[in-house]
Every structure is written in structure tokens, then in C-alpha cells.
Structure 1
Amino acid sequence: MKALTLLATTAIAFGQFSAAAYAQAPAQNWPDKPVRLVLPYPPGGNVDSAARVISEQLQQVFKQPFIVDNKPGAGGLIAGEQVAKAAPDGYTFFMGANGPILFSPLIFRRAAYDWKKDFTPVGSVSFTPLLLQVNPKLPYKTFGEFLAAAKSAPGRITMASPGAGTTNHLVSEYLQSATGAKWTTAHYKGNAPATTDLLGGQVDFNFDQLSVAQPFIAQGRTRALVVTSAKRLPSLPEVPTLAESGFPGFSAETFTGVMAPAGTPKDIVVKFSAALQKILADKAVQDKFVNLGAEARGMTPEQFGQFLAKEDAQWTQVIKASNISAE
């Protein structure tokens, strides 16, 4: 009996030691099963394309599947809330963009999550300039002609937005406020359906990421009037910037990045971030993003957190001043 008691005590002690050892260094064992990257958009858009590039590379690094899980809807709140409530064990992450990560709770008037409290930044992935493109059947050849038409007939011109609170939408609202032009905005669940309706002529224009718009412009299926980058784009040298078109100093871009549920062990976050930065520094991976019209650019968790705070402060002002709401 004493021998059995001693054996049981030893087993319990060993189990406690093993659990404590894992708790102290969970990254040594992470990942030992598939990891989910939850996305707030359907397949085919900017975030989805970036996720599929890095998921393939992460799988090679960690020898475990990194599954892209598309959960569109409510401006990203569905995906974001799911990850915010997920176990902080390093197996569920939120990969989103400006709107879903930062602004959707404010715009949808629902405190589903707060990025500063409910998430831990892991790192940035890509940065993509936007452009204003119109259906080629429209007569506008310049940004000036477009604005003049939007001023002369307020609300007649229609815009496809990939969702309330996205950079695409915020740039649109900023320009309406700054110029006095007015158009009607139709919100979609992501870039893909918005682009489909633009190509089909159901809407007149959109602000879209270069990564999505580039092939359609090359095919003549849309016409670019202006870009939001600080400088003209090498792939579209004839298209002026907003800074050149009466908005000096203005620039805007869509970022994609990875967030972990708050409470995820720091060493897992650091391990994931380090792998991500190494992947994004690889020339072959950078070339893939260039082909998508984006720039691969990794940040540490601390750098990404500082970047998010700056973006939050800048664009929250636009949201409040324009009274942007999905309601």
C-alpha cells in the first residue's frame, strides 16, 4: 500500500512538474497541432491573398497546417469577436486589416472587442495603396471630372465599399467631407462581391487596393483616376496621387496584420512574430506580394502595436467627424 501511495504521489508530482514546465515555456511545444488564421472577409480579396501567401510559408517553417478560415460579416465583427473569445493558447489568431481590427466596433456601435484590451499584436504582414477606379463606360477621365460630376448631382454616382470602416470606406468619407462631393455608398461583404458589381456596372466606382484592382485596370475593365500612395506607383505611372490632386501630404494604405487573443503566452507571440518577420524578409515572398500589388513588411509586436495606435488616432477622428455608422 505504501509503495502504491508513493507511486501515486510521484506520478502527481511529475505531472505537476510537467505542467509547470510547459507553462513556463509553451513555445517549445508550439505548435503541435493545426493553427487557425481567422479572416473577416470572403476568399478573393486583399486580406485573403496575403493570408494564403504566409500560411503556406508558416506551414513549412512549423511543420503544422496554418488554416485560413474565412468568417465574413458585420464589418469583421464576426471574425474578430470569435478570436477575442477564443482560448489564448496560440492556436487561433485574427488576421485582418484596418477596419476589422481597429474601427468596426465603433462604426457598428457594438463593443464586440477592443483591440487594445482583447488582442495582442503579433505583427504586420503587408501594406497596399488604394486607388479610385471607375467602370470604363463612365465618361470621367480625370479625378477632377469625377468630383465635378459628384458635386453637380449629389448621390447619383454609386460606390461599392468592401465594408463599413474599411480603409476604402474611410478614404471615401474623408474625400466627401473635404470636397463637398456626394455619392451613394453600397456596402458589401468584402472586396470580391464589390468588385464583381463594379465590373458588371451595377455600381459606378470604388476605392480598391492595387492588389485587387491591378489586373482589371490592365485588361481595360476598369479605369484608374487617382492613387492614395504618397508617390505615383511604378505600375501606374500615368495616374496622379491625391497629394498631386489638391490634397498635399495625404496618403492612405491598407495594412494586413495578425492579432492574438489577449493572454496568449508572450513567448508564443514572439516565436510567431519572429517567424513572420523572417518569412516577409525573404525575396521570393516579397516578390509574391509585389505581384499582388502590395509590399511585404514585418514588424515586431511592439512596433505593430505603436503603428496601430497611430492609425487608430488618425482615422477615428474621421469616423467621428463624418458620423460614420453602419446602422
Structure 2
Amino acid sequence: MRAEFSRRRVLALAAALAVPTAGGAAAQGGGQPAGQSAGPQPAGPQPAGPQWPTRPVTLIVPFPAGGGNDAMARIVADKLTGALGQQVLVDNRGGGGGNIGTRAVARAQPDGYTLLLGHTGTMSVNPSLFAGAGYDPRKDFSPIGLMATMPVVLLAHPSFPARTVADVIAAAKAAPGRISIGTSAVGTGGYMTAELFKASAGIDVTLVPYKGTGPLMNDLVGGHVPVAFGVLAPALGNIEAKTLRVIAVMSRERFPLLPDVPTADESGLPGFESVLHYGLLAPAGTPQPIVARINAALQALVKTEEVAKRIRAEGGAPLTSTPEEYAADIDREEKKWSALVRRLGLKGD
């Protein structure tokens, strides 16, 4: 471990020296506990210099294609390609509830050529849910910035009789253990929302985790599982075609894309909330000028009407942040979800 740490520091220093800054030195970005500072920083984003990027950048999505993570990644990858002057390639590396792809980025060289599409499940749930996750969200990454939030929704096959959250809870209490609720992989936002739902409502239901959102949606549309927690992106077409129905959104306020759909809070489960946060990260030790340049490009593109419209069309809400704000967000969310993991004694496979 010590040899690996030294190697990473040497690599980071070499990369920093290759990227000129206004003051002649690069400050390491990310990896700082929330509320702490790495020292005085130059005002505003610092140029990363002509040396970076000189070749394509890989954006790893730690889930199969077709889900909310994949949708968010492809929205920004296209525009970052233009902003950075090099192609940003999306690389789907699913498996292990998102751990495999996330761990790959944690171990990658901190040179700006490997980025991660992070979300609440991988950054704030998995480290406590999986004993062998293999990464620390606070130490192994340099947060770049948030790009969107997306509420989890409770979806149902049209044949499922429940129309409200209160109906689902009543049905579950009338038939303990007999109602199956589909989710995406263990550790993802949909899965953890289902666990939180069970605990908050005090019900006994059978959770059915799928390896990816695509297979989950296929079985839900086919009626093989009657109800599921998931994100909107892969379900929108079926919702419009009325082959799926939305019972409730898990945000505190109604979602603009579904103004007629009630929240869980107002339809049977007061105070309930589960919203996913999406952002970009790099390996810890990535030079600060590179982090700053990507953050500036990310904030600019998310604020455009074109990208904001695409994010909303995928069921999300545009959101920007500084690297420090994203680090604080990860810290808050990790504390929330790890507390649930400990309280319920949850363990990933």
C-alpha cells in the first residue's frame, strides 16, 4: 500500500509539473474532507495548459448501458468533447453494483484521462454496503462537479391495483412477503430507496434486484414484477405509451416533468425522500488545473438550454457545483445512507 501511495504521488507531481499554472505550481484538487481546505487557491479556474488533453479522455460509467447513469454520461460526453478539444469516450463497465467501474477509476493514473460518472449509489452507498467495495469516496477521488439530480420513482405495471403509496403499503401489510418490488442492482439508488421504503413503512415485501435497469424495465413492462423503484430515464417511453404507470415520485416536491404525480410525502409516507445526485470525478491527485478546467466546462454546458433540456427529458434536473461543493454533497449523502445500512444491517454480495 505504501509503495502504491508513493507511486501515485510521483505520478501526480509529474502531471502537475507538465501543466503550467498562474503561480507556477499546481495545487492538488479533491480528496479533502468536507470543510477543510488545501490552502490558499488562486481565484477562478486556472488554465490547464496546452499539454492536456492531447488524446481522448475516457468517461467510465460503472453500470451497463441503458440506465440513468449512462444517459447522464452521454449527455455531457458529447459536449465535453467540443469544450476540451479531444473526444470524450463513454466506457460502460458494469458489475458489482457499480463497484468494478468505480474501483477502476480510483486506481487509474491521476492524469485527467480517466473520469468517472459518479452517483449517489456508488459514491455514498456502496462503501458501507459492500465490505469489499475497494475504494474510499473521500480519499480516492477528486470531485469535479455535480451535473444533475434525479428523483427515484415508484413504477407499476398497469395491472397492479394500487394507485397511491398508501395503497401499496396497505396491500403489503395485508399480504406480508407476497408483493415483489423490483430494483436495479444491490447498492444502487433504486435498491436503497426500496430498503428505505420498507423500513419507513414498516412492511414486509420481497425485493428483486436486477443486474441492470434494462432487464428490470423489461420484466416490469412484461408484468413479471408488478412494481419497482427506479429512475425515469429508461421508463419515460413506456409511461407515455401507458405500458407503465408512476405511482409517486420520491422527491420532497413534485417533479416538473410529472406535475400530476404526487410525492411519497403527500400520498402516504410523510417525510420520505430519495433523490439521486450525478457528477463527474477523477482519481485522487489529479492536478487542480485539470479539475478546474473540466469543472468550468461542465458548469458552462449544464447551464445551456440545450443540455438542460436533455437532462430534463431524461427525468433529471440540471445542477452545477464547485468541486468543493460536490465533495461536501458526497459527504452528506454518505452519512445518510451509511446510517441506514448500519441500522438495517444491510450487506451487499
Q: Fold-level match, TM-score > 0.5?
A: yes
1:31 equivalent to 2:31? Answer: no
- Tell me the residue number matched to 1:22: 18
- For residue 67 of structure 1, report the CA deviation from its aligned partner: 0.4
**Going by fraction, where is helix more abundant, 1 or 2?**
1
Match of 2:298 among 272, 276, 280: 276
- For residue 157 of structure 1, report the CA deviation from its aligned partner: 1.4
- Tell me the residue number matched to 1:105: 127
**Hey, what's the Cα distance between the residues in 1 that align with 2:288 and 2:238?**
42
Where 2:94 maps in the other structure, the secondary structure is coil
- For residue 190 of structure 1, report the CA deviation from its aligned partner: 2.3
Shift in alpha-carbon separation, 1:20–1:113, aligned structure 2, 3 A: closer
- For residue 303 of structure 1, report the CA deviation from its aligned partner: 0.7
Shift in alpha-carbon separation, 1:77–1:145, aligned structure 2, 3 A: same
**Hey, what's the Cα distance between the residues in 2 that align with 1:261 and 1:45?**
23
- Tell me the residue number matched to 1:159: 181
- For residue 21 of structure 1, report the CA deviation from its aligned partner: 5.3
Q: Give the letter aligned to residue 44 of structure 1.
A: G
- For residue 23 of structure 1, report the CA deviation from its aligned partner: 5.0
- For residue 245 of structure 1, report the CA deviation from its aligned partner: 2.6
Match of 2:312 among 284, 290, 300: 290
**Hey, what's the Cα distance between the residues in 1 that align with 2:17 and 2:253?**
52
Where do residues 117-136 of structure 1 align in structure 2 (5 Å cutoff)? Answer: 117-136=139-158
Q: Greater shift after overlay, 314-323 or 262-271?
A: 314-323
- In our comparison, the structure showing a higher alpha carbon Rg is 1
Where do residues 294-309 of structure 1 align in structure 2 (5 Å cutoff)? Answer: 294-309=316-331
- Tell me the residue number matched to 1:40: 62
Q: Give the letter aligned to residue 159 of structure 2.
A: K
- Tell me the residue number matched to 1:70: 92
Whether the 8 Å CA contact 1:46–1:212 is kept in 2: the answer is yes
Q: Greater shift after overlay, 97-106 or 20-29?
A: 20-29
Shift in alpha-carbon separation, 1:188–1:312, aligned structure 2, 3 A: same
Q: Give the letter aligned to residue 88 of structure 1.
A: P
**Hey, what's the Cα distance between the residues in 1 that align with 2:180 and 2:268?**
22
- Tell me the residue number matched to 1:258: 280
TM, length-normalised to structure 2? 0.84
1:209 equivalent to 2:231? Answer: yes
* CA RMSD in angstroms, aligned pairs only: 1.8
- Tell me the residue number matched to 1:14: none
What are the superposed Cα offsets for residues 119-169 of structure 1, whole Å, 9 maximum, x if unpaired? 110111111112111111222222222111111222211122111122211
- For residue 213 of structure 1, report the CA deviation from its aligned partner: 2.4
Q: Greater shift after overlay, 297-306 or 26-35?
A: 26-35
Q: Give the letter aligned to residue 70 of structure 2.
A: D
Q: Give the letter aligned to residue 224 of structure 1.
A: V
What are the superposed Cα offsets for residues 189-246 of structure 1, whole Å, 9 maximum, x if unpaired? 2211211111112212111112332222221111111111222233333322111134
**Hey, what's the Cα distance between the residues in 1 that align with 2:151 and 2:238?**
16
What are the superposed Cα offsets for residues 54-108 of structure 1, whole Å, 9 maximum, x if unpaired? 1100111112110000000001110011111111111001112111122213212
- Tell me the residue number matched to 1:231: 253
Paired residues, what number? 310
Match of 2:76 among 41, 47, 54: 54
TM, length-normalised to structure 1? 0.90
Whether the 8 Å CA contact 1:232–1:240 is kept in 2: the answer is yes
5+ unaligned residues in a row in structure 1: which ranges? 1-17
Where 2:134 maps in the other structure, the secondary structure is coil
- For residue 299 of structure 1, report the CA deviation from its aligned partner: 0.9
**Hey, what's the Cα distance between the residues in 2 that align with 1:209 and 1:111?**
23
Where do residues 75-94 of structure 1 align in structure 2 (5 Å cutoff)? Answer: 75-94=97-116
Where 1:271 maps in the other structure, the secondary structure is helix
Q: Give the letter aligned to residue 259 of structure 2.
A: P
- For residue 250 of structure 1, report the CA deviation from its aligned partner: 3.1
Where 1:47 maps in the other structure, the secondary structure is helix
Shift in alpha-carbon separation, 1:20–1:130, aligned structure 2, 3 A: closer
What are the superposed Cα offsets for residues 31-52 of structure 1, whole Å, 9 maximum, x if unpaired? 1100000111111111111111
1:319 equivalent to 2:315? Answer: no
Shift in alpha-carbon separation, 1:324–1:285, aligned structure 2, 3 A: same
